[in-house]
Amino acid sequence: MTTKKLKVELADVVSTQGYEIHSKVFDEDVCNKTRIEFLELSNANARYIFNDKKNDKKRKSCPPPRNHPTINRLIEFLKVVYPELNPSRGDILFSKEGCKEQQLHTDYEVTDELVELCKISKAPLSVILSIMDGTKIKIKPFNSDVQIINLGVGDVFVFRADLVHAGCAYDKENVRFHLYLDSNDVKRVKNRTFIV
Ligand SMILES: O=C(O)CCC(=O)C(=O)O
Ligand SMILES: [Fe+2]
């Protein structure tokens, strides 16, 4: 398995634009294998997560297997690029064909304290690893309208705790992986999102 050459210094786009994309961190072969392994888990272990106002039960999640090589490699990558933050175990996300869009939300409570930390680039972050083409996420950047970020196979999307976003609608099945990069300075409320 190969990862892209690691960029040690953190380019501070996350603190200015609220997100950044690391392109093609993982090879397509690795992603395909990972996708198949993750899909096998979805039937047995996944639970429905919040989706549209009226949950269509087409978006599920489950924890990754312990010691999965792709997740281990992702965590290694993130620890180099964001050394001050602590990766959570994360969740595999599954959207079935026809899955509706989520409501716009943040993953962390946007308190005054969080806003202050964002100013000094010490904010916690959220991460989506795209393991197939067609992965996307809706975001509402700080100074512009909502937009869709399209991710290719192997891309890693990193966004700030206060960035408003929503999982997209999917007309084809999609599997992806989500984790948090927590900060020692901010408590994350587990299993909660904050609808805006
Ligand atoms: O489904 C996705 O791609 C994003 C999910 C998400 O943002 C969440 O559940 O907090
Ligand atoms: Fe979210």
* Residue 106 belongs to domain spanning: 17-195
> Could you tell me if residue 186 is inside a domain?
yes
Centroid of ligand 2 to alpha carbon of 166 (angstroms): 6
The answer to the question of residue 10 being in a domain is no
Q: Is 2 inside any structural domain?
A: no
CA distance linking residue 189 with residue 176, whole number of Å: 22
Contact 51/99 with Cβ under 8 angstroms?
Answer: yes
CA-closest candidate to residue 19, choices 139, 176, 99: 139
Does residue 137 have its Cβ closer than 6 Å to ligand 1? yes
Residues 6+ apart with CB under 8 A from 100: 51, 52, 56, 58, 59, 169
Can you give the pLDDT at residue 153? 98
- How far is the C-alpha of 33 from the C-alpha of 126, rounded, in Å? 24
Query: How much distance in Å is there from the Cα of 4 to the middle of ligand 1?
Result: 25
Assess if residue 5 is contained within a domain: no
Assess if residue 106 is contained within a domain: yes
Sign of the dihedral defined by the CA atoms of residues 22, 23, 27, 30, in that order: positive
Task: Note whether residue 32 is domain-resident.
Answer: yes
Q: Sort residue 67 into left (φ over 0), alpha (ψ -120 to 50) or beta.
A: left
**Residue spans of the chain under pLDDT 50:** 1-11
CB 78 less than 6 A from any atom of ligand 1: no
Residues 6 or more apart whose CB falls under 8 angstroms from that of 104 comprise: 138, 140, 146, 164, 165, 166, 195, 196
Residue 120: predicted pLDDT: 78
Question: Number of structural domains, the chain?
Answer: 1
Residue 146 sits in a domain whose CATH number is 2.60.120.620
Q: Residue 1: what pLDDT?
A: 40
